[in-house]
Structure 1
């Protein structure tokens, strides 16, 4: 995995992300689907990144979506790595290869310091797949989860 050429704190990363633009991209993507998308920036932690993502997925209530079609983009600046985790509903349609390719593309954008653009591009790809497999329901859909960029507190992202 390639290393990103920027300071490895979540505060440094958050200063480089236009959270309002990311949240607007999530809202646009979710308007076309019953799916839910979240972005989370982890603090320092020890342990396995995938387990941290699974823990954040539960903490953010993503396992409770009606169609099990939530997707989490978890960025770990202290590791200069990220994980994209889809719940069982969407994962059954797109498979592991989709998440792997998308993670590689987003990592490349981060390596080029294109943080906001990379996140928006990933959100658009995720939104497209969610819309294809989980279109909006007649009468509108309830936004089950917040669109805000989550900043995990140390206690949320501590040792696993």
Structure 2
């Protein structure tokens, strides 16, 4: 799978307007804070753990500034009901595991209602607030 932009919806859970809105929010986040955040949805994990899939994907795609290792990847595998927020080591001080889990907790209730755009938006806003870009 190839990364196609700030939002790559391979699981086709977002409509065009939702994808565009999320992409614009991620662009504003990057412009203000400099950290790059991407959202990727996948139809399945191919038997790989969500943690490994997210970390390997983020590394392969080079999310974040290379010199700072400050990328953030939100990975959603809706069929397997798995979510992961993977971070580069350069942003772990701002977004440690417990704060990444809080972002996942913000997404989960909406995902249970199949409101994927609302859940992703809530997750992005939770991460933004933790990393210095409340909106």
TM surpasses 0.5? yes
Counterpart-to-counterpart distance in 2, 1:22 and 1:73: 12
Quote the residue 1:21 is aligned against: 21
The one of the two structures with greater contact order (alpha-carbon pairs below 8 A, sep at least 6) is 1
Counterpart-to-counterpart distance in 1, 2:21 and 2:114: 16
Who wins on radius of gyration, i.e. which is larger?
Answer: 1
Quote the residue 2:5 is aligned against: none
Q: How does 1:106-117 map to 2 (within 5 A)?
A: 106-117=107-118
How far off is 1:81 after superposition? Answer: 1.4
Q: What value does the CA root-mean-square deviation take over the aligned residues?
A: 2.2
The aligned length equals: 123
Gaps of 5+ in 1: 1-8, 133-160
TM-score of the aligned structures, taking structure 2 as reference length: 0.78
Matched, 1:80 2:81: yes
The verdict on how the C-alpha distance between 1:15 and 1:46 changes in structure 2, with shifts beyond 3 A counting, is farther
Conserved in 1, the CA contact under 8 Å of 2:95 and 2:127?
no
The verdict on how the C-alpha distance between 1:56 and 1:15 changes in structure 2, with shifts beyond 3 A counting, is same
How far off is 1:98 after superposition? Answer: 0.3
Gaps of 5+ in 2: 1-9
The verdict on how the C-alpha distance between 1:28 and 1:64 changes in structure 2, with shifts beyond 3 A counting, is closer
How far off is 1:93 after superposition? Answer: 2.8
